[in-house]
Structure 1
Amino acid sequence: MTPLKEIGEMQISVADHDYFFRPSFSAMASIGSGSEIVTTYAVLNGFEVSQLIASIVDVYGTFPEWLIKTIKKPILGKKVLSAAMHVMQCCCSDDITPLVGEWVPGKKGVVYRNGKMPIANIIIIGRELAEHGIMGKAKLRKLQRHEFNGTNSYTREFEVFEYINGARTHFDMSRIEAEQLTMTEYQLLLKAKYPEEKGFTREEYDELMDADDRLQARLIAEEEAKRVANGR
């Protein structure tokens, strides 16, 4: 099967085996509950680390260099890697242990046993799959008047079934077909079926306001110049 990179599909070939990844709604549901999906996404995108750094800066007024190594290994290493491995496995029907490695008991606790893929690549791919499966990467115009929607701007849970049900309703799909959509694909289908409404995005609105301010400033300057020229 040829992967469609535009909607988040990937294929990784190692030796004589091809691993196919699809960050579908069904795959995202396999990550865990709605709140666990959000937590996994946050871990992959460094939310917890950012919060920790902000707390440290509040206490010290800066970020001490001696703390960098202290937080890097336990937080950026184990937790992020585990989240990326989990997302990748959820998006693939094959056992990907030979590819991404595994966590095994060791003398000093659980240790990571390498697979064929470098750790950095695992984290990058896991993050990319989560992005296509949870947030979506379709280029959509977000109107300025919809940017501050109160409680709609943030959610603690990712309700997979709502998107599956939405796809069945909007596109007359079966449940199986809807479950195989990625969030990016879902967004693109919505964009194709429902033309983007008219209005200004935040950037377009700001640009218009800046232009208006410049025009007003020029008119005021011209009026002032006329007043001075007339000796008033």
Structure 2
Amino acid sequence: MMSVLTQIGEIGIHAGRDVLLRPSLAAMSGLGEPAEIVDAFARVMAGDLADCVAVLYACADEDVSDLVGTFEAREGGGPLRYAAGALPVEHVVLLAQSLVRHGVVGVAKEQPRPADYKPEYMREFDAREHAALAMAHLGLTEREAWNMTMTGLVAALRAKFPPSAKDSPGARAPSKEELDASMEWFEKVEAARAAKEGVH
């Protein structure tokens, strides 16, 4: 049984015990360097199980291996073997996709954009920069800022600074078009990488 706090993206899982998954800026920073976070986001959205498991681990403040599962070494080497946990694999994937949406891009109502607006590729997600933004503009402590999700941060910034102002902090959140453009760019890079590896 699961419940979702859609306002900020937290997910509560009830499976023998209660577990809170929070896609905070701190949790997202645990996925790697800024460019690696965007790559992980794309792989999670494509359903890569290893990355989905990593996201759930990062968003939990306790050991969730019994729920999410683990990757174990095979005898004689080779790729790691996935040992499932209590949650069905499809739930692990769906949970991870919801968490990274709220943690990296923020889930908020799309705002009007200028007619000449062109989305840019989002190649990095700098959690530290967003935490600093929350401290500077919302008066949060460092701990409070790092515990925010992007959904919560975008909502708070838009409430304080109407996003109609082009340079407002609320306008810095990536748009759906930017996310789509980033996904297209990532898919092209992955296809080129796969083609290159296939030659050798």
TM-score normalised by the shorter chain: which range applies? 0.7 to 0.9
Q: Which of structures 1 and 2 has the bigger CA Rg?
A: 1
Give the residue type in structure 2 aligned to 1:122. V
Q: In the alignment, is residue 103 of structure 1 matched against residue 71 of structure 2?
A: yes
Name the counterpart of 1:10. 11
Structure 1 stretches of 5 or more lacking a match? Answer: 47-75, 200-232
Q: Deviations over 1:10-55 (max 9, x none)?
A: 110111x111011000111111111110110011122xxxxxxxxx
Measured after TM superposition, the shift of residue 183 of structure 1 is 0.2
Question: Which of 95, 98, 110 is the equivalent residue of 1:128?
Answer: 98
Structure 2 stretches of 5 or more lacking a match? Answer: 167-200
Question: Which of 90, 112, 115 is the equivalent residue of 2:85?
Answer: 115
C-alpha distance in 1 between matches for 2:71 and 2:50: 9
Residues 10, 148 of structure 1: CA spacing in aligned structure 2 closer, same or farther, 3 A cutoff?
A: same
Greater relative CO, 1 or 2 (CA 8 Å, sep 6+): 1
Alignment RMSD (CA, Å): 2.0
Name the counterpart of 1:81. 49
Give the structure-1-normalised TM-score: 0.65
Structure with more helix by fraction: 1
Residues 93, 198 of structure 1: CA spacing in aligned structure 2 closer, same or farther, 3 A cutoff?
A: closer
Length, aligned pairs only? 162
C-alpha distance in 2 between matches for 1:177 and 1:84: 25
**Once the two structures are aligned, what percentage of the paired residues are identical?**
30
C-alpha distance in 1 between matches for 2:131 and 2:100: 17
Give the residue type in structure 2 aligned to 1:34. P
Residues 139, 146 of structure 1: CA spacing in aligned structure 2 closer, same or farther, 3 A cutoff?
A: farther
C-alpha distance in 2 between matches for 1:197 and 1:179: 26
C-alpha distance in 1 between matches for 2:91 and 2:4: 18
C-alpha distance in 2 between matches for 1:3 and 1:170: 28
